[in-house]
Amino acid sequence: MKFPKDFVWGSATSSYQIEGAWNVDGRGPSIWDAFCQIPGKVFNNETGNVACDHYHKIKEDVVLMKAMGLKAYRFSISWSRILPQGRGEVNEKGIKFYSDLIDELLANNIEPWVTLYHWDLPLALQLEMDGWLNKDISDVFAEYAQICFEHFGDRVKHWITFNEAWVVSILGYGQGVFAPGRISNAEPYLAGHHILIAHAKAVKLYREKYQFLQKGKIGITNNCDWREPLTNSKEDKEAAERALEFFLAWFTDPIYFGHYPKSMVERLGERLPEFTREEKEMLMGSTDFFGLNHYTTMLASEAKEVEQGSVYGNGGLSEDQDVNLSMDPDWELTEMKWAVVPWGCRKLLEWISERYNYPEIIITENGCAYDDRLINGEVNDIKRVEFFEGYLKECSRAIEKGVNLKGYFMWSFMDNFEWASGYSKRFGVHYVDFNTLERTPKTSAIWFGNFIRTNS
């Protein structure tokens, strides 16, 4: 495996999944604080109230990052920790927390990569503005972003506006399984539309007021799984392409081309909002890199009818795509029941490169969940090591084929609150005992540290 000398090696987390301290030092509630209180929405009715208690354990956690050899750490800011009501008065204790974290990272030669929004909208904005269904929230987001640029931009050189707008839109406003828990066949496209506008406004603000002086980069991260045609038929190839467009191009075509994919425009009609000329101009080129979260691969086929045992239309609302999804029975599955298919990562990287004229790509998340068994304080973490080895080999092959891949962040730095799955899924490369909140390095953490030292 060969990687460029300036390749970025890191790990990632999100605020609600690890910070805890949900009502400490002036933090306001988020939509996830509220969602977790609804019985049956989260496995075992668990919450992120304490999570990994990262809020109180910055120094200990950065020691672990340094021991792993991380060169970069991607974390998200809790909007309601900075602005308890989503707007208005700033919470100085929230500012201090993130400022201290950034300083601690830099003191240990770890580059901070900051995500402004990782799903935890301040609850006040959901109640007062209807969340992402209100176009005016794009201006509120830009105001929040400006506060972050002003307080942290002197030290933060990599910004990500949104993490996985698809999840916010489809799981939060379409299927109702994530906060704010709404079910609709129209709201996801409206929410996604407003997220894109909010992204563009924040980027415009950063470029006009801060980028020249602060010398940073700004972008957005979207998630996508690879869709491999089930057969070589024209219909299945078109189905696979359509699935990718409803999944990834939904949020990336507007940024690179100024409009939504043709397949979405044709199939959604009036349910798909239109951008104004000003919004198109603001969106075009509004990213300095292509952030990608990637985990798995599925087989796609034309859905003349819903096939027995298939997953119908994952990647958008089912009735809008006419795509059947399935898996090869020989593929290994993680605890999330996601298939381990390393070559799918390479194919997705190549698809992105060809569609968007070879942009600089950063894999901002890639990882796997396994049922780790702690024996004598250690985990024989063979499966996770094999996963990272397999995916990194395909990343190296993609680079050899001309893909401009410049960084890789594994998910996650430590086991955490896994949203609706509670604490039942283990993605982390460190074990977290949620009774004592002790962290214990795993085999995979040691392997990854050695790997990036050798290849950096």
pLDDT tens sequence across 24-54? 999 999 999 999 999 999 999 999 999 999 9
Q: Is 151 annotated as a binding residue?
A: no
pLDDT tens sequence across 191-217? 999 999 999 999 999 999 999 999 999
Distance CA 251, CA 162 (A): 11
Q: Point out the residues of the chain with pLDDT beneath 50.
A: 309
Whether 209 is covered by a domain: the verdict is yes
Q: Is 44 annotated as a binding residue?
A: no
* 3-state secondary structure (DSSP) of residue 170: helix
Secondary element (H or E) of residue 218: strand 217-223
Whether 441 is covered by a domain: the verdict is yes
Q: What is the pLDDT of residue 429?
A: 77
Q: What is the pLDDT of residue 311?
A: 54
For the chain, the 3-state helix, strand and coil shares in percent, each to the nearest 5, are: 45, 15, 40
Distance CA 51, CA 15 (A): 10
Whether 350 is covered by a domain: the verdict is yes
Whether 352 is covered by a domain: the verdict is yes
Whether 1 is covered by a domain: the verdict is no
Whether 202 is covered by a domain: the verdict is yes
* 3-state secondary structure (DSSP) of residue 438: strand
Which CATH number fits the domain that encloses residue 378?
3.20.20.80
Secondary element (H or E) of residue 361: strand 361-365
Segments forming the whole domain that contains residue 449: 8-455
Q: Is 222 annotated as a binding residue?
A: no
Q: What is the pLDDT of residue 310?
A: 53
Q: Is 411 annotated as a binding residue?
A: yes
Q: Is 85 annotated as a binding residue?
A: no
- Residues assigned a catalytic role: 164, 365
Whether 2 is covered by a domain: the verdict is no
Whether 22 is covered by a domain: the verdict is yes
pLDDT tens sequence across 110-162? 999 999 999 999 999 999 999 999 999 999 999 999 999 999 999 999 999 99
| Count of domains for the chain | 1
Q: Is 278 annotated as a binding residue?
A: no
